[in-house]
Structure 1
Amino acid sequence: MSEEANAAGWDAIERAMSKIYGDQEPKHYGTLIPYMLGGRDPLDGISAYKAERPYPHWHFVTFGFSELYDKESDDPERSGYGFELTFRLARGEAEEEPPAWAMNLLQNMGRYVFKSGNVFRNGDYLDANGPICLGADTKLTALAFVRDPELPALDTPNGQVEFLQMVGITGCELEAMQTWNTLGMLNVCEEHMPNYITDLSRDSFMRVPAVAEAVQRGMERDGSSTGFLYVDQLGWEPAKRRLLGKTPAALRLGAKQAGIVGKLLAGRILKGKSLSMTGPDVRVVFEPGEKPGFEQGQNEVRIKLDEASATELSRKLQPKEGVIELSDFKGMVVQIVKTY
């Protein structure tokens, strides 16, 4: 097989970028040691193009989430993980080289996907637990994922590839996405963030009255679209019999997640929707029910909440250590533990 045929997936991505940037030669950064041979970087390469509209920025695209060479997966419809990431970053007019931190961030996204098997989809978000550019004085501490506005999905010899753009967001914007929905929030912000260009120096759009009002209306109208959360500090202790009685079952939750879970419950249970949380050892599903109660199985707990118990738990879940007891909920408490 010829070298050209072997690189069919790679060539398809470059052709898609050339439709936007013509003959521009991008800044390309390849991987010295392939990931399969023990290298640290799972992506084969990253290219950065100089974009001028709507204002100067770098337009990054990855090579490696999809199948760049021979077809290896069993899914004929999808190439590899089915996507490549893009990232638009505001650029100074005199800036000639793309910043290394942005490419490190994209490689970190590759490490996350390759190690966990979790793929990104249109409308996803990810808490970075700190500045997306380490050491920078920026309020952007999380990421959202949306279809790149200039790159439609590709049909390649190895299957379809979607271009998902990574967008830097603030903590309060992340909270708005969690309690409402990502695409609704990004749509409201697009006037202030054309083409979803990430600018490390910007303030939160939740400070713009029109944005905050639109988010509040959306939350009240739609509830939360977040139906699934991965929570690293999630645990379950079954009830235990003691000499002097019985210790109630305990749902253990990290303080960092407690506040947002409380808000999500209001936007899910009260709208007739469930909320699923997965931790290292257990899956916990909150679901609406006529009567509060819980059922525990192997590695899974299902907790039913009526309107009153959902409202009470939503109010009491705060980001601080403590034990929560619910008025009409017998045999179970919620233990909030310190997040490190």
Structure 2
Amino acid sequence: MTLDEYKKQFSEDDAVGWLSIDKEFDTLYPNQEPKHFAPAISYMLGGENPLDGVSIYESKKQTDHYHFITYGFSELYYDETKLESEFSKWGFELTFRLKPFEADNGNPSWVIALLQNIAKYVFDSGNWFEEFHYMPANGPIRLDTETDITALIIVADPEIEKIQTPHGEVTFLQIVGITTAEFDHLKENPETAQDLVNKLKENNPLLITDLTRK
């Protein structure tokens, strides 16, 4: 896209990158208005949460589950200087799929905090994620919960392909909850990350996180 095309298609009030993300999810979930969560004070205005928002869609594929998408790891807003970059900011957004958990009462807001904490790590450290990276959650991924899911592995979202936005490439990376035993095995055998993902996919192709999984 040339600068002239960019100026013709968008105005300075447009969230160019945000619109690119929404286009993908509107295709996946036509006619669905997601729940959206945004921090009271945006990061650029001094807020402590780097993500400008997280949306939650309800999916009925494989089994009923929530599908989260972040806004903030990529370049969201009109910026002529970012046009035709190789990667849009960090080059990815995170997704997460959660099987409904009874204690959430239909409001899994803890996931928003989890995603914001991951964003703080990325923004503060300068370390970004790629497929098959993994990390501990330093306890249950849902705080104060009896669950074996205490770590995360990164995969490509099974349903959302990487896209080219006016600001560069964006990959949709899905975080997947794994057990303490699985994480301990990965620490000892890091080369088996893809094997673990393939094994999980056998019974769970969309890699939906289930806090009750042992």
- The TM-score bracket by the shorter chain reads 0.7 to 0.9
Does 2:50 correspond to 1:42? yes
1:129 and 1:32 map into 2 onto residues whose CA distance is 27
1:3 and 1:32 map into 2 onto residues whose CA distance is 25
Distance 1:106 1:37, change over 3 A: same
Does 2:147 correspond to 1:138? yes
**Matching of residues 116-195 of structure 1 within 5 Å:** 116-178=125-187, 179=189, 180-195=191-206
Q: Tell me by how many angstroms 1:184 deviates.
A: 1.6
SS class of match (1:68): coil
2:192 and 2:110 map into 1 onto residues whose CA distance is 28
SS class of match (1:113): helix
Does 2:88 correspond to 1:57? no
1:85 and 1:98 map into 2 onto residues whose CA distance is 19
Provide the TM-score with structure 2 as the length reference: 0.88
Structure 1: stretches of 5+ with no match in the other structure = 204-340
The answer to which structure has the higher strand fraction is 1
Across the aligned residues of Structure 1 and Structure 2, the Cα RMSD in angstroms comes to 2.0
Distance 1:44 1:201, change over 3 A: same
SS class of match (1:190): helix
Q: Tell me by how many angstroms 1:158 deviates.
A: 0.4
Q: Tell me by how many angstroms 1:63 deviates.
A: 0.3
1:58 and 1:82 map into 2 onto residues whose CA distance is 23
1:186 and 1:174 map into 2 onto residues whose CA distance is 12
Contact 1:147–1:165 (CA<8 Å) still a contact in 2?
yes
1:47 and 1:101 map into 2 onto residues whose CA distance is 13
**Matching of residues 3-14 of structure 1 within 5 Å:** 3=11, 6-14=14-22
Structure 2: stretches of 5+ with no match in the other structure = 1-6
User: Residue type of the partner of 1:125?
Assistant: Y
2:108 maps to what in 1? 99
After superposition, what is the alpha-carbon deviation per residue over 1:259-312, rounded to whole angstroms, capped at 9, x for unaligned?
xxxxxxxxxxxxxxxxxxxxxxxxxxxxxxxxxxxxxxxxxxxxxxxxxxxxxx
Q: Tell me by how many angstroms 1:8 deviates.
A: 1.2
Q: How many residue pairs were aligned?
A: 202
Q: Tell me by how many angstroms 1:7 deviates.
A: 1.0
1:112 maps to what in 2? 121
Q: Tell me by how many angstroms 1:190 deviates.
A: 1.0
Q: Which has the higher contact order (CA 8 A, sep 6+)?
A: 2
Contact 1:121–1:164 (CA<8 Å) still a contact in 2?
yes
1:154 and 1:29 map into 2 onto residues whose CA distance is 23
Distance 1:130 1:75, change over 3 A: farther
Q: Tell me by how many angstroms 1:6 deviates.
A: 2.9
Q: Tell me by how many angstroms 1:14 deviates.
A: 0.5
Distance 1:157 1:96, change over 3 A: farther
User: Residue type of the partner of 2:125?
Assistant: S
2:194 and 2:166 map into 1 onto residues whose CA distance is 30
1:83 maps to what in 2? 92
2:63 and 2:119 map into 1 onto residues whose CA distance is 28
2:106 and 2:50 map into 1 onto residues whose CA distance is 22
User: Residue type of the partner of 1:151?
Assistant: I
